[in-house]
Structure 1
Amino acid sequence: MAAHRRLPVPVPGVRARVTLNIGGCGPYAHIVADFEPPGPGGGVLELISIVPKRRLPKAMLPALREGLLEGLGGVSAAVLVTDGSFDEVSSWDLGYRMAGREAGRAALIGAGLLPPEEAGTLRWTTWPGQPRPKRRPRPYG
C-alpha cells in the first residue's frame, strides 16, 4: 500500500475484542472505533478516545496507536475510540497492539482498500457490512 494515502470513506463501528489464553490470562483487549478520512492537515493517524479511563486506561493508547499504524499500512485516518474495556489482570500492551492492527485492517477492507476476502484473516474484529465467508456445500455421504 502506498504511503500517505487517505481513508476515502468513513468506516464506523469497528469492534475488536482480543481474547487469548496464555498461561491462564491474557492478553485481553476490547475497543470500538469509528474510522474517518483525516481532516485537513491531519497526520497519518489522528487518535482520540472518549472512553472513560476506568474502562480504557490512557496507558493502553500508545500500544493501540502502534497497532493501528501497522494495520492501516500508511493510509491516513482519523480514529475515534467510542468504547472499550480493560481487565486488571489480563490486559497487556500486546492485546491492544493486536486489536489496533486488526481494527486498522478492518477499516481498510470496509473502505474498499483491501479485498473483501481479507476479512477472513481477521480473528477478533467485526464491523457493520463485514463480508461473510462463502459457505461450502456439505458433502453427502
Structure 2
Amino acid sequence: MTGLPVSVPGVSARVVMQTGCGPYAYIVVDFEPPGPDGASEFLHTVSDDRLPHEFLPAVWDGIREGLGGVAAVAVLTDGGFHEVDSRDQGYRLAGRYAGMAALAAAGLGEPPADRGRQIRVNWPGKPRAGT
C-alpha cells in the first residue's frame, strides 16, 4: 500500500440532494501522510453539536473508499448536518469525494467532478471551471 506523499489541508465536501428528504452532509478534512507504520488513521476535532458522532463511521468508510488503498491520516476538522436530511449515505459520499480530492491534490489521481449543486468538493489547487 502506498502512502499519501504530501499534506493536503482543508478538503471540503458538501452533499445536498434536493429530492425527497436529502441526504445532506458537510465535512472538512485535513489529510496527512501516514505515520512510520504506514497505516491509515482517522481522527476528528469536531464537536457532537457540529456533526453528530453517529456519522463518523460513515465519513471514515467513505474516505477509505475515496483513497482507494492509499494510506493517509485523515483529520476531520469541521462538519455540518441537517436535523432531518442528514444520514449515513450522505456522509459516506462526502467522505469518498474528499478522499478522491486528496489524491488529486497530491498528484495521485483524477480530480472528482462536482455534480452540479448536489455534490461540491474543494481542495487546495483545485482548477477553476474553464481553466
Structures share fold, TM-score greater than 0.5 = yes
Amino acid at match of 1:127: W
* Structure exhibiting the larger radius of gyration computed from Cα positions: 1
Pairing partner for 2:76 from 59, 76, 81: 81
Contact 2:3 2:38 in 1 (8 A): no
CA separation in 2, counterparts of 1:33 and 1:102? 11
Instruction: Please say if residues 16 and 103 of structure 1, whose CA atoms lie closer than 8 Å, have aligned partners that are also in contact.
Output: yes
Q: Does 1:46 align with 2:41?
A: yes
TM-score, normalised to structure 2's length?
A: 0.91
Cα deviation, residue 19, structure 1: 0.4
Aligned with 2:128: secondary structure?
Answer: coil
Aligned partners of 1:101 and 1:75: how far apart in 2?
13
C-alpha displacement of 1:42? 4.3
Number of positions where the alignment pairs a residue of Structure 1 with one of Structure 2 = 127
Which amino acid in 2 is paired with 1:122? D
Instruction: Give the Cα–Cα distance (whole angstroms) in 2 for the partners of residues 103 and 80 of structure 1.
Output: 11
Q: Say whether residues 1:128 and 2:124 are aligned partners.
A: yes
Aligned to 2:105: 110
- Matched letter for residue 27 of structure 2: I
Q: How far apart, in 2, do the equivalents of 1:129 and 1:39 lie?
A: 24
Q: Specify every segment of 5 or more residues in structure 1 that has no aligned partner in the other structure, as ranges.
A: 136-141
Cα distance in 2 for residues equivalent to 1:61 and 1:83:
12
Give the residue type in structure 1 aligned to 2:8. Answer: V
**SS state of the match for residue 42, structure 2?**
strand
* TM-align CA RMSD: 1.3
Question: Structure 1 segments of 4 or more deviating over 4 A?
Answer: none
Note if contact 1:102-1:122 (Cα within 8 Å) is conserved in structure 2.
no
> Secondary structure in 1 aligned to 2:75?
strand
* Cα shift readout 1:34-80 (whole Å, capped 9, x = no counterpart): 0000111142x311110110111111011111111110000000011
1:59 counterpart residue number? 54
